Structure formats: structure tokens, C-alpha cells
């Protein structure tokens, strides 16, 4: 048996998004691409901004000796300096390149962070709904996740959060704007989270890190302001990527940022650099590091995503779905009209609409729809979504 029992179990637990994506491929082969409406995968159809191509062409036409060689494991100094400078502008905190480690996307960044922080048996608190890979990332490093359920607005249940922290808690991991809900953790929410963290640190005599997974940070709608966690807790670490804000998911480029005032910040960054190397990432990709160095203040046209959100949200609201309106990212998380979200997602497939069951994100009874897609796909999905809910009126 080539695959371990544990990995087989994990594959079953974590397969919902890819399972629906693969079923979409089969349905398209049967019915034609134009007759299948796959809203299962958050794979942006928007191309990177023009500035990306300008910089790519500049580097291709003016190569420098050694530009593709090994570098410090933390990444190119120029890239780290550019990230630090942009964070300093956004937060009014004195970031420098010594607070930044370039990473292979947010997934790579989170693995590096968890490896650096955790001893076997340590725990990370996560808030449902959550990205399913969090469990697997923690397990990679002999740690585990403790899940806190949400309230009716998909914000943390603070009473449950307080009970979830113990002497083994190493970090609290948030994802805002959230995948799959698009909910932003605002100032009041962050202040309450940090207040509980500080009380528990005092109770147990421990240090608890606030970790923010924020690849959707620049995809914010309706004029909302994004509250950086650095303003609330000195033991704060950001893991992010340019997969969404620059539409570069296949390039696997992101960074880790540590609060400059974090106690033992130099030792922590040294640990992150060491784990970047020993986990096998070695360093983030050289070419794309050089490209994003010049793009730290550039973002895709967020208005395009907001328009797509408005269309799908209003279309589903009109036919009777219950939905918390997303404030960012590019997902909707409607309530299933029947308790069994898997059965409802199967029903949607009868109309050749593909969605992801909410239990894949730790919240049964809901389902996720991506809207980072062509308008024709979103428009084509609405009749099937309408027919499916009408069956259960």
C-alpha cells in the first residue's frame, strides 16, 4: 500500500474543491465547456495588471548576470525592501527588510510559520469557516488546529474562542477577507481577539502569536478600510501572496512579515529563514521576486470583482437564497436550502452548476461559489441555481 492510512484519510477530507473541479472537467467533456458552469475553484480569470508585463519584458530584454542564481534564503534584498517600504506606508510602522521573508505563496508562508513556531503537540486556533488546508499544514509540523465556530455573521464566537485557548496554544490564525465568506474582521473584532489573547497569555504565562493569512487583503469592496493586525498585537505575523491581488496564483510568490516590535524578532526571522530552507522551498522564485519588487503598490482592477459580486449576490438574493454580503475576496457562501449541503451540491450538478459543500470549510449547511470567473459563466449558472432552490420551496 503506497499511501499511508493517514494521508488517505486526509485526501478524503480535503478533496471537495478539487473533486468538484475534476467533475467539472468530466462534465465539460460530455456537454461542452459553454454548457457547464463551474463555480468551484477560486482560479482568477483576470489577467495580471499591465505593469506586470512591462516589468517582465524589461527583465527579459535586459537580463543581468546571476539573476537566476541562488540567493539568501530570505529572498532578494531588493524585494524585501520594497515589501517593507509598502507596509511602512500602509501601517505607519517602521518595517525594514529584516522583518520580511519572501515565500512560495501564502501556503508556503504558513508552513514556514507553523514549522518555526511549533513543538510537537502545540495548537493553532482557527475560525470557521476556514481554508481546509490549515489542518494539513499544522499536521505537517506535528501540531494541530482547534476550530472555533462562527456567529450568524461569520465572525468568531468569542465565548468559544476564549475556551479554545490553553497552555498548548501557539498561535491564532485568521483569514480576512475570508475564504469562503468574504467577511472582513473589523477593528472591534480584532480588538476583542487580541484582548482575549493577552488575558490568556497572562493566565498561562505563554506567548501567543496572531497570524493573518491575507491573500485577499487588497480585494476590498464598498470603501471598506482594511485593519492591519500590526496595529493591535506586537506578536503578529502576516502570511500573504500575490496570487489574488496581482492575479499570479501559478507563480507562487508571497511573503512573511513580522512586526518590528515583536520580542525576539531577530531570532524569529532567523527561524523563518531556516525553515524556508529546510522545508525545501530554499527561496522564493527569483524571476518573479524581481518583478513584484516594482509592483508593491499595484493591484488588479478591484471594481471588476465588485461588479461580479453584485451581479451574483443580487441574482441569488432575488430568488430566495440567504447570504451574508461579502466585503472582499471573490466568493459567496450562501445557506443551503436543505440541511445537507452535499446533497444540495449534488442537486446543482443536475443543472451543470458546480459548487463546493460548506462542510469542506468546517461549516455544514452552506456552499461556496467563486465569482472570479467570466461573466458568461456567472450568468449561465443563475438559471440552474434558481431551479435548484425552487425545488425546495
Write out pLDDT tens, residues 340-377. Answer: 999 999 999 999 999 999 999 999 999 999 999 999 99
Phi, psi of 367 (to 5 degrees): -150, 150
- pLDDT class of 143 with cuts at 50, 70, 90: very high
Please say whether the beta carbons of 174 and 193 come within 8 A.
yes
Look up residue 382 and give its three cell numbers. 443563475
**pLDDT at position 350, please?**
92
Q: What angle do CA 96, 100, 105 make, to 5 degrees?
A: 150
Instruction: Give the count of alpha carbons within 13 A of 297, CB side only.
Output: 6
pLDDT for 89 beyond 90: yes
Answer for the pair 192, 158: CB distance below 8 angstroms, yes or no. Answer: yes
Tell whether omega for the bond before 374 is within 30 degrees of 0, i.e. cis: no
Q: For residues 107 and 311, is the Cβ–Cβ distance under 8 A?
A: no
Place of cell 444540495: 344
* Residue 38, SS3 per DSSP: strand
pLDDT digits (tens, 9 = 90+) for 109-124: 999 999 999 999 999 9
- Cell 477530507 -> residue: 13
Query: For the whole model, what pTM was predicted?
Result: 0.95
How many CB atoms lie under 10 A from the CB of residue 41? 16
Amino acid at each position: 500500500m503506497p499511501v499511508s492510512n493517514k494521508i488517505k484519510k486526509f485526501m478524503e477530507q480535503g478533496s471537495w474543491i478539487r473533486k468538484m473541479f475534476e467533475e467539472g472537467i468530466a462534465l465539460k467533456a460530455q456537454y461542452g465547456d459553454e454548457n457547464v458552469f463551474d463555480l468551484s475553484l477560486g482560479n482568477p480569470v483576470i489577467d495580471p495588471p499591465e505593469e506586470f508585463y512591462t516589468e517582465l519584458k524589461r527583465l527579459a530584454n535586459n537580463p543581468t548576470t546571476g539573476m537566476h542564481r541562488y540567493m539568501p534564503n530570505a529572498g532578494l534584498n531588493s524585494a524585501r525592501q520594497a515589501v517593507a517600504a509598502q507596509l511602512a506606508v500602509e501601517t505607519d510602522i517602521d518595517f525594514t527588510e529584516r522583518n520580511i521573508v519572501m515565500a512560495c505563496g501564502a501556503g508556503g508562508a504558513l508552513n514556514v510559520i507553523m514549522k518555526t513556531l511549533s513543538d510537537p503537540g502545540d495548537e493553532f486556533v482557527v475560525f470557521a469557516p476556514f481554508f481546509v488546508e490549515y489542518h494539513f499544514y499544522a499536521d505537517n509540523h506535528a501540531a494541530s488546529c482547534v476550530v472555533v465556530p462562527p456567529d450568524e455573521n461569520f465572525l468568531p464566537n468569542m465565548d468559544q474562542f476564549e475556551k479554545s485557548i490553553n497552555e498548548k496554544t501557539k498561535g491564532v490564525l485568521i483569514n480576512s477577507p475570508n475564504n469562503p465568506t468574504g467577511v472582513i474582521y473589523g477593528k472591534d473584532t480584532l480588538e476583542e481577539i487580541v484582548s482575549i489573547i493577552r488575558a490568556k497569555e497572562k493566565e498561562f504565562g505563554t506567548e501567543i502569536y496572531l497570524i493573518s493569512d491575507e491573500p485577499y487583503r487588497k480585494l476590498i469592496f464598498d470603501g471598506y478600510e482594511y485593519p492591519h493586525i500590526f496595529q493591535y498585537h506586537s506578536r503578529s505575523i502576516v502570511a500573504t501572496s500575490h496570487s489574488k491581488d496581482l492575479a499570479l496564483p501559478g507563480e507562487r510568490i508571497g511573503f512573511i512579515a513580522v512586526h518590528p516590535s515583536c520580542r525576539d524578532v531577530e531570532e524569529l526571522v532567523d527561524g523563518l529563514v531556516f525553515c524556508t530552507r529546510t522545508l525545501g522551498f530554499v527561496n522564493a522564485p527569483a524571476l518573479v521576486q524581481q518583478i513584484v519588487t516594482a509592483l508593491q503598490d499595484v493591484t488588479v482592477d478591484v471594481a471588476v470583482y465588485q461588479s461580479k459580486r453584485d451581479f451574483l449576490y443580487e441574482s441569488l438574493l432575488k430568488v430566495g437564497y440567504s447570504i451574508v454580503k461579502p466585503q472582499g475576496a471573490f466568493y459567496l457562501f450562501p445557506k443551503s436550502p436543505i440541511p445537507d449541503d452535499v446533497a444540495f451540491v449534488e442537486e446543482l450538478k443536475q443543472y451543470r452548476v458546480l459548487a463546493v459543500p460548506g462542510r469542506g470549510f468546517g461549516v455544514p449547511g452552506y456552499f461556496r461559489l467563486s465569482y472570479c470567473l467570466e461573466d458568461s459563466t456567472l450568468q449561465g449558472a443563475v438559471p440552474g441555481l434558481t431551479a435548484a432552490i425552487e425545488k425546495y420551496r
